[in-house]
Amino acid sequence: MTPRPAPPPVDRAAASRAAVAARRARAAVKHDVAAKARTARDVLDAAWSDPQSPEATLRVRELLTSVPTLGPTRVAKVMNELGIAESKRTGGLGVRQRSSLWNYLTAREGGVEPTRLVVLAGPTAVGKGTVSAYIREHHPEIHLSVSATTRAPRPGEIDGVHYFFVSDAEFDRMIANHELLEWAVVHNSFRYGTPRPPIDAALAAGKRVLLEIDLQGARLVREEMPDAILVFLLPPSWEELVRRLTGRGTEDPSEQARRLETAKIELAAQDEFDYRVVNTDVAVAAQEVVELTAVPTSRP
Ligand code: 5GP
């Protein structure tokens, strides 16, 4: 058999122009999904009606990672559960994969079978407390866990509402009695823990539950309750985080420096989380977190 001749130079140039155009078209699709101009299901619709479309040549992983709030860890987990290989393109999915991906996205958008236990964590001073306070005020349908802590109340904080303020001995007793779902020493000073019985009761009553805890606590909850959804709250930028931390005025300069160091390490943990929410505007971030409490698990 004679080898096929190389395409003439003019064809090669045309082919590379076409490849560039296809890449641009795919980037535009991802951009639209990230900007919420199109949903992932709109894109799949287009992909499956025209196998030559840019949508059809987009990788499933890239499509899902463009969905706002879906982080790479969650995407990898979902694809694994749906049996879709890492390199699959939307147009190359088999019938079963198409229907399971479609059902996953439908359930996710429609709030079917909510996971119900959501953990909100993030670096220090990112505004977790403000976002959870907003949710406490505007979403009474969500059970916001009240942590136990050994630190003293700040002005305006109410025992049983913001925290259960307990003594060291009482905290020891709670640990010994296995009353805490998780606990940690935060900022090298006081102990904070999540009382388990109220959470079990709320979940049993069909309520959605939100925990606002630190990173160590989030990791412990994941071990204890693997179905929990972990949400990482991000600052709009590092500069803004520094501004929020130093502007709060509740810590002295050496404590501020220590917390900034901690924040740097904490930010690096964001990829361990299922979702990321950027806290530019408290009401918007709170709304996104609330929506995540209605996200279904992809498990059957
Ligand atoms: P603050 O003392 O400013 O109210 O809270 C300090 C930190 O403790 C925050 O990062 C908050 O998320 C964390 N925290 C509050 N409650 C808990 C809890 O029950 N468990 C863990 N691990 N951290 C908590």
pLDDT given for residue 248 in this prediction = 63
Q: Encoding tokens for residue 163?
A: 């925290």
Single-letter code of the amino acid located at 195: P
Q: Check if the beta carbon of residue 76 is closer than 8 Å to that of residue 88.
A: no
Single-letter code of the amino acid located at 1: M
User: How confident is residue 4, by pLDDT bands cut at 50, 70 and 90?
Assistant: low
- Who has greater pLDDT, 116 or 170? 170
Compute the residue count for the chain.
Answer: 300
* Selection from 214, 201, 230, 234 nearest residue 147 by Cα: 214
For a ligand 1 pocket test, name from 120, 192, 224, 279 the mutation site with the most ligand atoms within 8 angstroms of its C-beta: 192
User: How confident is residue 285, by pLDDT bands cut at 50, 70 and 90?
Assistant: very high
Q: Which residues 6+ apart lie within 8 Å of 50 measured at CB?
A: 56
Whether the per-residue pLDDT at 297 is higher than 70: the answer is no
Q: What is the pTM of this model?
A: 0.64
Q: Give CA–CA dist 296/83, Å, rounded.
A: 18
User: How confident is residue 114, by pLDDT bands cut at 50, 70 and 90?
Assistant: very low
pLDDT given for residue 9 in this prediction = 67
Q: Check if the beta carbon of residue 240 is closer than 8 Å to that of residue 279.
A: no
* Selection from 121, 177, 168 nearest residue 149 by Cα: 168
pLDDT given for residue 2 in this prediction = 55
Q: Encoding tokens for residue 65?
A: 């990672």
Our answer on whether the CB atom of 84 is closer than 6 Å to any ligand 1 atom is no
Q: Whose CA is nearest to atom 21 of ligand 1?
A: 213
pLDDT given for residue 201 in this prediction = 85
pLDDT given for residue 47 in this prediction = 95
Indicate the range of 17-31, 107-121, 197-211, 220-234 predicted with least confidence: 107-121
Our answer on whether the CB atom of 147 is closer than 6 Å to any ligand 1 atom is yes
* Selection from 43, 52, 44 nearest residue 97 by Cα: 44
- Who has greater pLDDT, 1 or 199? 199
For a ligand 1 pocket test, name from 154, 214, 220, 221 the mutation site with the most ligand atoms within 8 angstroms of its C-beta: 214
* Residue 63 phi, psi (nearest 5): -60, -50
The DSSP bridge partners found for residue 230 are 119
Q: Give CA–CA dist 101/104, Å, rounded.
A: 5
